Structures are given as C-alpha cells and as structure tokens.
Amino acid sequence: MKKHLISHEPKVVSLPDEKFSFKNLLKDIFLTEIISGLGLTLSSLFKKPVTKQYPHEKKEAKQGFRGLHALARRPDTGLAKCVGCGLCAAICPSKCITIYTYEDVNHDKIVDRYELDILRCVFCSFCVEACPYGAIVMTRHYEYASYSKEALFMTKEKLLKNWDDYMSDEDALVYFKKYWGPREEDFVGHEGQAVFRNNK
C-alpha cells in the first residue's frame, strides 16, 4: 500500500474574519455578489431545460433496472422454469415470497402456487441472484401503481404474464449477465436450465 500518499496536513477552507472596510460596506449596500449570482441564473434562462414533463414524457428505465418481477418460461415447454427449491424465499429480506409445492404421482415436485407480494418487496433482486435456475427475474417495467392491493399481489400466472409482456430478448441477456451470473462473463448457460431465452 502506498502509505506515502497519505498526507495528514488538512486544508483550511474557512474565510478570514471580515474587517470593516469601505469596500465591504459598498458590497453590503449594493449586494454585488447577489447580482453576480443573478447573472448566473439569467444565463441559464437560455439553456435547454433539463426537467422532464413526466406523465407526458416518459423516461425509460436503464437496462438491468430492478423493476417488476417475472417468472421465466422454459424455451422448450413454455412452462415456468421454477422448480420450487425455495432459495428465493429463503434469502428474501422482506419475506414476501411464498411457494407451495406438492408431490405428484410420478414423485415430481410441482410448484403449485408462487406468490410474491410486491407491496412488501424492497427490490433488492436477491431472489434473482439466489435462484439456481434463473427462474425469477426482474423487468424494466416500473409503472404499475394501483388502487387495489390485489393487483399488486403477484401469483404464478401474473408473473408468467409479466415475462411475456415486459421481457425482451435483449433485456433478458443483460439481466442474465448482470444479476444471475454476475461473476462468470464467459458462462453462456446450462442446457435447458440456465438460459433465459433463446439468445442466439
């Protein structure tokens, strides 16, 4: 470590005490600094505005934005990829995921219900990271305010619909790289399990 860079000499930034002077008195009377500040404001009158008129002018969220959740579909069967391992529910800090599974006649584990209470979610995307199959993702969709609680209580069907509605191939790739497989750039997915979509 480069210890020599550390200088413990502080930098004094306070202004010296003001003495009474004729100049200061003039400044007090004519408020010259305020006029200089006003000049700045005036000059920015001719600059392009930076504000957006929100409901009319929408701002698209960046790729990889942590918005509404979606459950991924298997490319081959079109069913949800989720296998009901429960890791997403285990890591969720706000405990908003509930998974109900049962065993069918072939002794397969079937995910019966997958419920996600968006109103409790803190959008940390830990569920996405924890999922070993890349079965739950987040989308760029962020405008889903509603008057009813039911609309924000996500069931498996709604989450699958979100996948169809809000997830594009391009986005899926970004999410896949960024959150799901954050530390293996060269990793392209595992047969049938880990690919989000048919990414060429």
Partner 1 sequence: MDIKQMPAIDKDTLKSENLVLNMGPHHPATHGVMRLLLELDGETVVKCTPYVGYLHRGVEKLAEDMTYLRALPLTDRLDYISSMTHNQGYCYAVETLLGVEVPVRAKFIRTMVCEMSRIASHLLWIATHALDIGAMTVFLYAFKEREFILEQFEALCGARLTVTYPRIGGVRNDVSQEFIDSVYDFTNYFPSKVDEYERLIDRNRIWFKRTRGIGVITAEEAVNYGLTGAALRGSGVNYDIRKLFPYDAYDSVDFDVPIGTHGDVYDRYRCRMEELRQSNRIIRQCIERLPKGAIMTKDAPKVTLPSKKKVLTSMESMIHHFMVITKGPINCPKGEVYVATEAPKGELGFYFISDGEGKPYRMRVRAPSFVHIAALPKLCEGGLVADVISNIGSIDIVLGECDR
Positions in the binding site for partner 1 (CB under 8 A) = 1-3, 5-15, 27-28, 31, 33-34, 36-37, 40-41, 44, 50, 61-66, 87, 90-93, 122-126, 129-130, 132, 134, 138, 177-185, 187, 190, 193-194
The token duo for 103 is 């065993």
| Residues 127-186 close enough to bind ligand SF4 by CB under 6 A | 127, 130-131, 133, 135-136
Question: Of ligand SF4, partner 1, none, which one sits near residue 135, judging by CB under 5 to 8 A according to partner kind?
Answer: ligand SF4
Does residue 123 belong to the site contacting ligand SF4 (CB under 6 A)? yes
Q: Which is nearer to partner 1, 89 or 152 (CB)?
A: 89
Q: What angle do CA 192, 198, 200 make, to 5 degrees?
A: 120
* Cβ neighbours, 10 Å, residue 91: 14
Sole residue written with tokens 């959008």: 123
User: Which among 134, 117, 125, 126 has a CA at the least distance from the CA of 81?
Assistant: 134
Pick the closer one to partner 1 by CB: 13 or 105.
Answer: 13
- Give CB contacts under 8 A, 24+ apart, made by 57-63: 58/143, 60/140, 61/140, 61/142, 62/140, 63/140, 63/170, 63/171, 63/174
Q: CB-wise, 17 or 150, nearer to partner 1?
A: 17
199 is a contact residue toward ligand SF4 (CB under 6 A): no
> Within 10 Å of residue 43's Cβ, how many Cβ atoms?
9
Q: Which one of ligand SF4, partner 1, none interacts with residue 173, CB within 5 to 8 A by kind?
A: none
Rounded to whole angstroms, the Cα distance separating 173 from 161 reads 19
* Pairwise CA distance, residues 198 & 173, whole Å: 10
Site for ligand SF4 in 63-102 (CB under 6 A): 82-88, 92-94, 96-97, 99
Closest to partner 1 by CB, 7 vs 198, is 7
Determine which residue in the list 67, 125, 140, 195 makes contact with ligand SF4, applying CB under 6 A.
125
Which partner in ligand SF4, partner 1, none is near 61 (CB below 5 to 8 A by kind)? Answer: partner 1
